[in-house]
């Protein structure tokens, strides 16, 4: 009988499928539904410091009492944080799957403060949702990377629970970033976040959003980097995010070396019934291939393991064009 049991960030999971941070994990009620549907763990919706600042800023601007700004900011921050803490506490009381809290802060002080509060509320682990968009030309790649390392070091020093870092693929050398993250004892890397991307509405000269949901084709970035990273990393766990829609996407990710995968778009589009479909699909494939455990096929097709590692390095279409005229 195939077993989907695995481990992520040192925590045992019944299946490698995690429901990623989004509106689907914003309340204890929704988290309970995901647990009942067979998910391995959940990452709670991110607490965005920027959103709190923005909301307070808008309220202060529209009021005549701008001196009340500081008070409102502290009040709103505490109020929002309390809602998130309640979600974690309630979830811990109603489900027996790991609850991972997620933070996206602006100031390093708040990254640390939020992390400590989440740990006290009972979160099993933290996911640091870090994304820095450069808008000044003098800021170097190394400067930005250092900001990542500073945040992770500061949080790591403040809490005992494991920490995963959720990143984008916009780095010159992801392997080097992860090497540094391992040096400062990050426990996991989530590859990759998919962001809100602005699009331009040419009829109304306005902004709109590109489609927020992914499809299976979007797995390609995470698959390449998981395949390569899993061959050179030391202790850090890899969780694949973006483009996991089918059981074959989960299997490919694990063959490339992922420890877990995260789903979001497919759960929005198909509902939580997809979790059972994915779990059954993996079990069926494992039975067909005579694998009893996840570990038996994890990394079987990583950069180091395959005969032709160039499969992961190739980035030009030379052969494709030769064969397709």
Q: Binding residues for ligand FMN, per CB under 6 A?
A: 20-23, 45-46, 102, 129, 166, 193-194, 212-214, 218, 241-244, 263-265
| Cα–Cα distance list, 206 to 158, 210, 211 (Å) | 43, 13, 16
Minimum CB–partner distance for residue 290 and ligand FMN (Å): 29
Minimum CB–partner distance for residue 39 and ligand FMN (Å): 13
Name which of 60 and 164 has its Cβ closer to ligand FMN: 164
Name which of 193 and 231 has its Cβ closer to ligand FMN: 193
Name which of 159 and 263 has its Cβ closer to ligand FMN: 263
Name which of 44 and 60 has its Cβ closer to ligand FMN: 44
CB 108 within 8 A of CB 150: yes
Minimum CB–partner distance for residue 258 and ligand FMN (Å): 13
Minimum CB–partner distance for residue 278 and ligand FMN (Å): 11
Kindly state the tokens that stand for 268.
């929005």
Name which of 194 and 233 has its Cβ closer to ligand FMN: 194
Helix 69-94, helix 28-36: angle, nearest 10: 30
Name which of 241 and 247 has its Cβ closer to ligand FMN: 241
CB 193 within 8 A of CB 131: yes
Minimum CB–partner distance for residue 250 and ligand FMN (Å): 11
CB 152 within 8 A of CB 190: no
Minimum CB–partner distance for residue 131 and ligand FMN (Å): 9
Name which of 210 and 320 has its Cβ closer to ligand FMN: 210
Name which of 60 and 161 has its Cβ closer to ligand FMN: 161
Minimum CB–partner distance for residue 108 and ligand FMN (Å): 18
Kindly state the tokens that stand for 13.
């999971």
Name which of 198 and 325 has its Cβ closer to ligand FMN: 198
Minimum CB–partner distance for residue 263 and ligand FMN (Å): 5
Minimum CB–partner distance for residue 284 and ligand FMN (Å): 22
Would you tell me how many other CB atoms lie within 10 Å of the CB of residue 314? 13
């Amino acid at each position: 009988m195939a077993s989907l049991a695995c481990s992520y960030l040192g925590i045992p999971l019944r299946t490698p499928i995690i429901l990623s941070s989004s509106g689907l994990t914003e309340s204890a009620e929704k988290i309970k539904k995901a647990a009942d549907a067979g998910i391995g763990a959940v990452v709670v919706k991110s607490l965005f410091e920027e959103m709190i600042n923005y909301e307070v800023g808008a309220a202060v601007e529209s009021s005549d009492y701008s001196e009340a700004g500081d008070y409102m900011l502290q009040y709103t921050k505490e109020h929002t944080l309390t809602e998130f803490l309640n979600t974690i506490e309630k979830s811990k009381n109603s489900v027996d799957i790991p609850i991972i809290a997620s933070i996206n802060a602006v100031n390093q002080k708040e990254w640390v403060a939020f992390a400590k509060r989440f740990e006290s509320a009972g979160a099993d682990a933290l996911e640091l949702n870090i994304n820095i968009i450069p808008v000044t030309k003098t800021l170097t790649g190394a400067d930005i990377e250092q900001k990542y390392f500073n945040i992770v070091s500061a949080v790591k020093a403040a809490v005992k629970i494991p920490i995963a870092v959720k990143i984008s693929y916009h780095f010159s050398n992801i392997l080097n970033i992860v090497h540094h993250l391992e040096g400062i004892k990050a426990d996991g890397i989530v590859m990759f976040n998919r962001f809100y991307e602005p699009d331009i509405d040419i009829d109304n000269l306005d902004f709109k959003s590109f489609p927020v949901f992914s499809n299976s084709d979007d797995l390609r970035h995470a698959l390449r980097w998981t395949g390569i990273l899993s061959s050179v990393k030391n202790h850090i766990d890899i969780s694949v995010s973006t483009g996991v829609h089918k059981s074959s996407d989960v299997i490919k990710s694990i063959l490339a070396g992922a420890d877990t995968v995260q789903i979001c778009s497919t759960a929005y589009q198909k509902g939580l019934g997809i979790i059972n479909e994915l779990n059954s699909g993996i079990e069926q494939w494992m039975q067909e291939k005579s694998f009893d455990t996840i570990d038996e096929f994890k990394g079987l097709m990583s950069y180091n393991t395959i005969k032709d590692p160039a499969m992961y390095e190739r980035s030009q279409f030379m052969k494709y064009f030769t064969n397709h005229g």
